[in-house]
Amino acid sequence: MRIGILAVQGAFIEHEKQLVSIADHFDEQIECIEIRQKTDLENLNGIILPGGESTVQGKLIRDLEIFNTLQAMILQGVPTLATCAGLILLAQTLENDSTKHLSTLPVTVQRNAYGRQLGSFSVSSNVGEIENFPLVFIRAPYITNVSPDTKRLVSVDQHIVGVEYKNQIGLAFHPEMTNDTRIHEYFLQKVINHSNNQDRF
């Protein structure tokens, strides 16, 4: 399985470490590819969009001509895990920003929703079927609106902070900055299932 991690800016190493730490839980070989140019997108089975600064990431994926292929791959169903700035890149609508990025996830996101000054905080909550997951927030967005067919995975104080829509998982928090690997394992299983299904056709 070739997992591409967008590596133009932000916390991509943390995702890579998380994947390496769980790779031997799976029969398939797991390979991490750092996406820095268009050719890095070839033959990927899964995509991770990390946290960081969405304005910078959005500009770089356009400048490096990664944008169109990346968007097409997500729309074609390649499993995608997006955290924080990654969620902002996926969102169809941004509440306090006129920019639109990949726009593949039918949700509305508010950037820096907890205030610009708030560095970080953490709480624990169930994320879908995963119980008591540590949620780490860093200048995080939250989700203010979702399409009816988007599954809400987790809310904190009435605000949605995690969703799943078809092949896309969008999280306002950072599972890659914890020692809890269950979300990455869930994602890798999704990648494996998707690739195995495709082989059958």
- Given the rule CB under 6 A, which residues bind ligand GLN? 51-54, 84-85, 88, 111-112, 138-139
For residue 191, the minimal CB distance to ligand GLN (Å) is 22
Taking the C-alpha atoms of residue 23 and residue 72, their distance in angstroms, rounded to an integer, is 27
Of the residues 14, 16, 32, 84, only one is catalytic, namely: 84
Please count the other Cβ atoms lying within 10 Å of the Cβ belonging to residue 79: 25
For residue 111, the minimal CB distance to ligand GLN (Å) is 4
Asked whether residue 116 is marked as a ligand-binding residue, the answer is: no
For residue 124, the cross-strand partners are: 134
What tokens appear for 1 in the block?
A: 């399985």
Taking the C-alpha atoms of residue 125 and residue 135, their distance in angstroms, rounded to an integer, is 7
Q: What is the CA radius of gyration of the chain?
A: 16
Q: Which is nearer to ligand GLN, 114 or 187 (CB)?
A: 114
Q: Which is nearer to ligand GLN, 142 or 192 (CB)?
A: 142
Q: Which residue, among 2, 21, 11, has the nearest Cα to 183 in the 3D structure? A: 21
What tokens appear for 27 in the block?
A: 């029969």
For residue 87, the minimal CB distance to ligand GLN (Å) is 8
Asked whether residue 111 is marked as a ligand-binding residue, the answer is: yes
Of the residues 14, 16, 164, 176, only one is catalytic, namely: 176
Which residue numbers are catalytic?
84, 174, 176
Give the annotated binding-site residues: 52-54, 111, 138-139
